[in-house]
Structure 1
Amino acid sequence: MSLSDSDREVVVDELGREPTPAEAALFENLWSEHCAYRSSRPLLGAFESEGEQVIIGPGDDAAVIALPEPSGEGNSETYITMGIESHNHPSYVDPFDGAATGVGGIVRDTLSMGAYPIALLDSLYFGDFEREHSRYLLEGVVEGISHYGNCIGVPTVGGSVDFHERYEGNPLVNVACVGLTNEDRMITAIAQKPGNKLVLVGNATGRDGLGGASFASEDLSEDAETEDRPAVQVGDPYSEKLLIEANEQLIEEELIESARDLGAAGLGGASSELVAKGGLGADIDLEAVHQREPNMNALEILLAESQERMCYEVTPGNVDRVAEIADRFDLGCSVIGEVTDTGWYVCRFDGEVAVDAPAEFLGEGAPMNDLDHVEPEQPETDLPDVPLDEAFETIIGAPSTASKRWVYRQYDHEVGVRTSVPPGDDAAVLAIRETEGEDGAGTGLALSSGAAPNWTETAPYDGARAVALENATNIAAKGATPLAAVDCLNGGNPEKPDVYGGFKGIVDGLADMCAELSVPVVGGNVSLYNDSPTGPIPPTPTLAMAGTKAGYDAPGLAATADTDLVLVGDRGLDEGTPRLGGSEYLARFGGTDSFPELPENPADVVEALSQIAQFDSTVAVHDVSHGGLAVSLAEMIDEDVGLDVSLPGDAPAAELFHEQPGRALVATTDLDAVEAVFNGVAPVERVGTGTDDGTLRIDTGEETIRVDAMTVAERRDVIERELD
């Protein structure tokens, strides 16, 4: 860890002296890209984050959103929290612990808002699946997520997994958490009153994770797996489970004034940000911190990122009761200092002052970066010529578009007994029973998360718009209305103008489409310097979106016999032929093309699809995006249900494999109802019927693709087949 010369000059000018070693390290971590968003903050104003449903937006540990009444009139008294974070660099160095502690961190962000965690979603990005190292990382990350999530009893209900060669030297692990709370339980990360005590509850502090924030703000080196191991935290999910239940008791007894979890920059980050947000200061005794390793110095105590720890603001009269509850749950508890009215953050150690700096300056004083950017250009059209049956077989079995059953079957998605629609569908649906409708069915909470690196590599702006639309379409396919979203914006080294141009593109694209959909982006995370000797990652805008509906039942994916199969949505035509840019087809067979045009009225398309999905006559709804129509059709058959399909156009490869989102396949017994809802909104085309023979037949006019459900399932289980 080392403070740059330019930052040191700013610090010296503010303090009027040279910083102490502990101060220099604290500034270096709090002013890192990971904590201060020095390159991204100038761009983030593009997001619209307000709405009548938004109780707390960006800036806290997690956002707080009011669920609407089942009647659709006004908001209920039930709130959800939404947060997302990345643990990319740690997951490269140590995939198990890196991914596990990513789960633990986002869960504690949920706790610090007074919420109980009810769901996790993970979006994972790895290098070429054919490479042994990519599989090693995949197996370790999935094991870490499943171990931690299963042990703490929070279901992992959704997410995404993508493979792309540019993640080979720098995988991405983005984890979102949803919590449940209400107005009476809610707390924030804003210190309330001078004289209140700062109490540290949870595991003892060790030397693990030192410099984790600064490590996350630099390119990965060839030796990262060995040299940077000390910067990776080590998780203990059993302690986290105790912390979850202790936090619940503290909230129920109204013992907490404010809270912040200890994540990036450890105790120094959590406690200084807590008081700075309240315009207050703190006086902290570092020697009072309960420790698990001998002879720790001030810098280590201040910046270690040991896991399963929370910093609480507690009134003096409640300190003893907090300690009793911590002891009941076998957790450590230390009164480490108090909130002051000075505005200064002071830490003492061994009879000396180790840190003495303005709290607000620590958190907000980092100079922003003014970086050059180069606008990316769309590629020309140069398409391969591949036999249709070969292309179909390849695309439905490509790792990015194939079944992810091997991944999600390792997660306990039923713990908590809220999961109505499990992983493997367009979106998960949870039952929120606290909000009762007239029929007593309560509210369904639909959740979708993911990005599309092929899209955003080809066209950062349009690809990011498509990511937002695709997540909204997933929500609508379950009959829900999008409510709010959080994002995890991943990019390479922003000091490279082409990389920063791509990053700017995904920010603007995501912001613009979310605004068009009236979906406020209420929080998020930025992860830059995802660059390694193999090059920068594709700009990757993971979006986690929530939507609501009355009740928790939803149409599935499988069609039934004697139903009409309808394709709804604009076909993205360019002079009569859909564009293949960003498709898995081009990723597999080479060639280039521009990205498909998106619908001009995306909000209307999403609203209409949500309405259709609620009809009794609707048997199945499935969005059409990754892998195109080919993959969506393959996912709608099983051993008992087949499909007879006729392609709508004259370019079968383009029709089958282009990936324009905002489209869906609907299996219905009332074609007229579908046409009526989409009249004036988007085209509706009957493309086939359901059968009872478990065979998919696709007639292109020139040839027929014929494949049975067993063959499709075997082809799509490539990940499970290769790893088990």
Structure 2
Amino acid sequence: MADTVSNAMDTPDLEQPYAALGVKDEEYARIREILGRRPTSAELAMYSVMWSEHCSYKSSKVHLKRFGELSQETPRGPLLAGIGENAGVVDVGNGYAVTFKAESHNHPSYVEPYQGAATGVGGIVRDILAMGARPIGVMDSLRFGPLHEDDTLRVLPGVVAGVGGYGNCLGLPNIGGEVQFHDSYLGNPLVNALCVGVLRHEDLHLAHASGVGNQVILFGAATGGDGIGGASILASETFDETGPAKRPSVQVGDPFMEKLLIECTLELFSAGIINGIQDFGAAGISCATSELASAGDGGMKVDLNLVPLRDPSLKPEEILMSESQERMMAVVEPANVERFMEICRKWDVLATVVGEVTDGDRLVITWDDQVIVDVDPKTVAHEGPVYNRPYERPAYLDAAAADRAEDLHRDNSAEGVRAALLQVMAHPNVSDKSWVTDQYDRYVRGNSVLAQPENSGMLRIDEETGLGIALSLDANSRFTYLNPYVGAQQSLAEAYRNVAVTGAEPVAVTDCLNFGSPEDPEVMWTFVEAISGLVDACKELAVPVTGGNVSLYNQTASTPILPTPTIGVMGVIDDVATRIRSGFTHAGDGILLLGTTREELSGSIWADAVHDGHLGGVPPQVVLDAERALARVMASAAREGLVSSAHDLSEGGLAVALLESALRDGLGFAVTLPEGDPTVALFSESGARAVVSLPGGSLPRFEELCAEHGVPVTRLGEVTGGETAEFVGRFEIGLAEVRDAWSAPIRDALRA
């Protein structure tokens, strides 16, 4: 049984196992100073999970404040909710708002791939639900070790099955994302999940407990022993072969319970009987009670004996730390409690009054009629430790910058370029991901307009007007390794471009920042530089960051992952009927290259594929005004119906954009490369570029549009509709041969 507050006061010198809970010496001393005594075991449990890196952002919040420099206006109007809420909320017009956010579930997905990934999806869905929105779609960004490593072949299938299984059971379309591979993720995969939801402006709900006497209701699944301190402790420890000494169990998800919880919660919102609401994520009841009370205008009293348990042997500390899934907490006026319970019974959702809002500023929790927690909730939820950790520029950067891919050998013979093209198309980061995406339902709910393998996912919001949104989730960890400031901007620019080439207007950003140990000054430097890059780029692109997630301690032993800032960009399109697909659609269409190609091969797929994993040099320059100009051209072209297809240029350059466009519907092409080096023309990864196809009648108006916005246009050739990709005067290759090389890597590795 937990010791009581009075017992804690009477036994000030009792030794407590705070270090085993991830609490540092100075943090434990600070807890004692705040309380004026030693903490009870229950209070120590609360502080340990709420002050963990995962929950408190103690190593990152000093730098995350920079996002506050950004305007809270999107190109479509002011944010309705931003950083600090469960998720950002964006006005998209016609009285609709969209809320979206990305989060990580990295370490749990290594320990137990299926449940780690599944509960990552479930958690981000509840964040969106808690804003008052109906979840309408999910995406994921996944990173693993080398494709043929045994541990990758253990983790990847489980993660994909978890993402697909949970999302499919919820009836949510998975409309996009990415799957990539690199040595640094072996032993530390990344599982970043995004959810998007839609609501009317008047349905927005925020997480706060107000109104003395209002009832605190826990509803959803019963509390079990799974995930006790799971995400919060796992995400606060260096993840190596020897530690933590006792790894917490990973949460276990029940998507069918979550589906009931979603429908139940939406009906509760519709009934107008919820004053405040909070989902249960990392830290469980500790999080929900302290955050609701901290954000409200009073205190809160909770009786842990009233919490429904799946495991009656749980101690109160374990109940407080449990991260059992599919749970929510609501604040409800007494007169509305019976109606609340009635709706929960209708959906077969367990609901229990566990406490009430009180006068004052204390969070008091009892067990067996004894007070085991008596704290100021702000000190738990919002006044945790803040570390301004030392950082220094990594020693590897100078040597890496000097090792330029532009200086590597290029075989520019027809045979050499042809061979390089096949190597690039067969690179695991470029190759066909359908083994993964075919396990996801992309079209459930009937509003999916674009989904994998399109440039970005697109969902219809309003059936009457055709109003819709586009979403892309991208990270370029190779560029970020070479230059964290530029690499973070490139990741943002790629996601922005992916949205823009569909015809949507990019309006807002979410992020999931995955880095190694913040206690390593070189890792911390890359983190700080990446944030600076994102802030500066968002200012220039005029898109706010609405919220996000930080995941630190992503490393195996002393080897950190490549710095991986995953960036989600959301765009708005007034009528989804005008959207632009990525694949060639009509034989005879002309093919144009938009943007400027420079000799930028460092960090490219070409360097990695052709030169045995080469990673050096300086990443491509970021030209944000060119990105904005390209976006304006594509939005106008979509509205005017000028183009048949558009594909952004990013990984693999022009070669990959052309061939993916051709493979989409099996329509070949004939193009003439610009004068000069064919390796640069085909494989440079310069930004702010796209390939479009369009009928001849649209060409004059489209070129006029590009001239208006200062976007360079190069005529390349035409869609032939045959079975060959012809690079005129150099070589040709059959689409069947390209498809074989492109589709084999992931399929064959997982079959084996």
In which range does the TM-score fall when normalised by the shorter chain? over 0.9
Give the equivalent residue in structure 1 for 2:85: 60
Once residues 170 and 498 of structure 2 are traced to their aligned partners in structure 1, the CA distance between those partners, rounded to angstroms, is 28
Does the 8 Å contact 1:629/1:658 carry over to 2? yes
Give the equivalent residue in structure 1 for 2:426: 397
Describe how 1:557-636 pairs up with structure 2 within 5 A: 557-559=582-584, 560-571=586-597, 573=598, 578-588=599-609, 589=611, 590-591=613-614, 592-599=616-623, 601=625, 602-636=627-661
1:11 and 2:31 aligned: yes
Give the equivalent residue in structure 2 for 1:71: none
Once residues 409 and 38 of structure 2 are traced to their aligned partners in structure 1, the CA distance between those partners, rounded to angstroms, is 62
Does the 8 Å contact 2:364/2:375 carry over to 1? yes
* Cα distance, 1:505 vs structure 2: 1.9
* Cα distance, 1:128 vs structure 2: 0.8
Please, which of 65, 79, 89 is the counterpart of residue 45 of structure 1? 65
Once residues 274 and 465 of structure 1 are traced to their aligned partners in structure 2, the CA distance between those partners, rounded to angstroms, is 35
Once residues 340 and 307 of structure 1 are traced to their aligned partners in structure 2, the CA distance between those partners, rounded to angstroms, is 27
Give the equivalent residue in structure 2 for 1:73: none
Q: Structure 1 pair 548/2, CA: closer, same or farther in 2 (3 Å)?
A: closer
Please, which of 77, 83, 87 is the counterpart of residue 101 of structure 2? 83
Describe how 1:24-173 pairs up with structure 2 within 5 A: 24-47=44-67, 48=70, 50-51=72-73, 52-68=77-93, 76-173=94-191
Once residues 557 and 335 of structure 1 are traced to their aligned partners in structure 2, the CA distance between those partners, rounded to angstroms, is 52
Once residues 112 and 600 of structure 1 are traced to their aligned partners in structure 2, the CA distance between those partners, rounded to angstroms, is 35
Give the equivalent residue in structure 1 for 2:565: 541
Q: Which amino acid aligns with 1:395?
A: V
Please, which of 226, 236, 256 is the counterpart of residue 217 of structure 1? 236
* Cα distance, 1:640 vs structure 2: 4.8
Give the equivalent residue in structure 1 for 2:264: 246
SS in 1 for 2:202: coil
* Cα distance, 1:533 vs structure 2: 2.3
CA displacement 1:654-688 (0-9 Å, x = unmatched):
22112222110011223322322222522111122
Give the equivalent residue in structure 2 for 1:659: 685
SS in 2 for 1:200: strand
1:337 and 2:355 aligned: yes
Q: Which amino acid aligns with 2:348?
A: D
* Cα distance, 1:636 vs structure 2: 1.3
SS in 2 for 1:353: strand
Give the equivalent residue in structure 1 for 2:401: 379
Once residues 57 and 387 of structure 2 are traced to their aligned partners in structure 1, the CA distance between those partners, rounded to angstroms, is 9
Please, which of 295, 299, 306 is the counterpart of residue 317 of structure 2? 299
Once superposed, what is the RMSD of the aligned Cα atoms?
1.7
Once residues 558 and 30 of structure 2 are traced to their aligned partners in structure 1, the CA distance between those partners, rounded to angstroms, is 34
Q: Which amino acid aligns with 2:46?
A: L
Once residues 432 and 317 of structure 1 are traced to their aligned partners in structure 2, the CA distance between those partners, rounded to angstroms, is 35
| 690-699 vs 538-547, which moves further | 690-699
Once residues 307 and 424 of structure 2 are traced to their aligned partners in structure 1, the CA distance between those partners, rounded to angstroms, is 55
Please, which of 273, 282, 293 is the counterpart of residue 275 of structure 1? 293
CA displacement 1:109-166 (0-9 Å, x = unmatched):
1111111100001011111112121122111100001110011111111111111110
Give the TM-score normalised by the residue count of structure 1. 0.94
1:696 and 2:725 aligned: yes
Give the equivalent residue in structure 1 for 2:455: 426
Once residues 57 and 302 of structure 2 are traced to their aligned partners in structure 1, the CA distance between those partners, rounded to angstroms, is 26
CA displacement 1:286-305 (0-9 Å, x = unmatched):
11100111222110111100
Q: Which amino acid aligns with 1:504?
A: V
Does the 8 Å contact 1:92/1:137 carry over to 2? yes
Please, which of 714, 717, 720 is the counterpart of residue 740 of structure 2? 714
Does the 8 Å contact 1:489/1:526 carry over to 2? yes
Q: Structure 1 pair 460/342, CA: closer, same or farther in 2 (3 Å)?
A: same
* Cα distance, 1:564 vs structure 2: 1.5
Does the 8 Å contact 2:141/2:474 carry over to 1? yes
Q: Which amino acid aligns with 1:125?
A: R
* Cα distance, 1:2 vs structure 2: 4.3
* Cα distance, 1:352 vs structure 2: 1.7
Once residues 446 and 44 of structure 2 are traced to their aligned partners in structure 1, the CA distance between those partners, rounded to angstroms, is 48
* Cα distance, 1:409 vs structure 2: 1.1
Give the equivalent residue in structure 2 for 1:531: 555
| 662-671 vs 217-226, which moves further | 217-226
**Structure 1 residue ranges without an equivalent (≥5):** 69-75
* Cα distance, 1:427 vs structure 2: 0.8
CA displacement 1:381-429 (0-9 Å, x = unmatched):
2424453222111111111111211111111111111101122100111
CA displacement 1:598-643 (0-9 Å, x = unmatched):
2251322222232224432311100000111111111111465211
Once residues 434 and 319 of structure 2 are traced to their aligned partners in structure 1, the CA distance between those partners, rounded to angstroms, is 42
CA displacement 1:543-591 (0-9 Å, x = unmatched):
11111112113222222322221111122x3xxxx11122112222144
Q: Which amino acid aligns with 2:682?
A: L
* Cα distance, 1:108 vs structure 2: 0.7
* Cα distance, 1:651 vs structure 2: 1.8
Once residues 621 and 224 of structure 1 are traced to their aligned partners in structure 2, the CA distance between those partners, rounded to angstroms, is 48
CA displacement 1:460-489 (0-9 Å, x = unmatched):
111111111111111111111012111111
SS in 2 for 1:425: coil
Q: Which amino acid aligns with 1:643?
A: F
Aligned residues: 703
1:414 and 2:447 aligned: no
Give the equivalent residue in structure 2 for 1:451: 475
Describe how 1:662-681 pairs up with structure 2 within 5 A: 662-669=688-695, 670-679=698-707, 681=710
CA displacement 1:482-515 (0-9 Å, x = unmatched):
1211111110001111111111122122222222
Once residues 104 and 639 of structure 2 are traced to their aligned partners in structure 1, the CA distance between those partners, rounded to angstroms, is 35
Does the 8 Å contact 1:510/1:541 carry over to 2? no
Give the TM-score normalised by the residue count of structure 2. 0.91
SS in 1 for 2:176: strand
Does the 8 Å contact 2:211/2:297 carry over to 1? no
Once residues 649 and 45 of structure 1 are traced to their aligned partners in structure 2, the CA distance between those partners, rounded to angstroms, is 47
SS in 2 for 1:637: helix
Once residues 121 and 600 of structure 1 are traced to their aligned partners in structure 2, the CA distance between those partners, rounded to angstroms, is 25
Once residues 40 and 282 of structure 1 are traced to their aligned partners in structure 2, the CA distance between those partners, rounded to angstroms, is 29
Once residues 172 and 124 of structure 1 are traced to their aligned partners in structure 2, the CA distance between those partners, rounded to angstroms, is 5
SS in 1 for 2:392: coil
Once residues 40 and 26 of structure 1 are traced to their aligned partners in structure 2, the CA distance between those partners, rounded to angstroms, is 21
Once residues 647 and 288 of structure 1 are traced to their aligned partners in structure 2, the CA distance between those partners, rounded to angstroms, is 71
* Cα distance, 1:723 vs structure 2: 2.0
| 234-243 vs 445-454, which moves further | 445-454
Once residues 292 and 557 of structure 1 are traced to their aligned partners in structure 2, the CA distance between those partners, rounded to angstroms, is 49
Q: Structure 1 pair 570/193, CA: closer, same or farther in 2 (3 Å)?
A: farther
Does the 8 Å contact 1:555/1:613 carry over to 2? yes
| 119-128 vs 374-383, which moves further | 374-383
Q: Which amino acid aligns with 2:182?
A: H
SS in 2 for 1:243: helix
* Cα distance, 1:233 vs structure 2: 0.3
**Structure 2 residue ranges without an equivalent (≥5):** 1-20
Once residues 637 and 686 of structure 1 are traced to their aligned partners in structure 2, the CA distance between those partners, rounded to angstroms, is 17
CA displacement 1:256-286 (0-9 Å, x = unmatched):
1111011111001111101101243211101
How many percent identity over aligned positions?
39
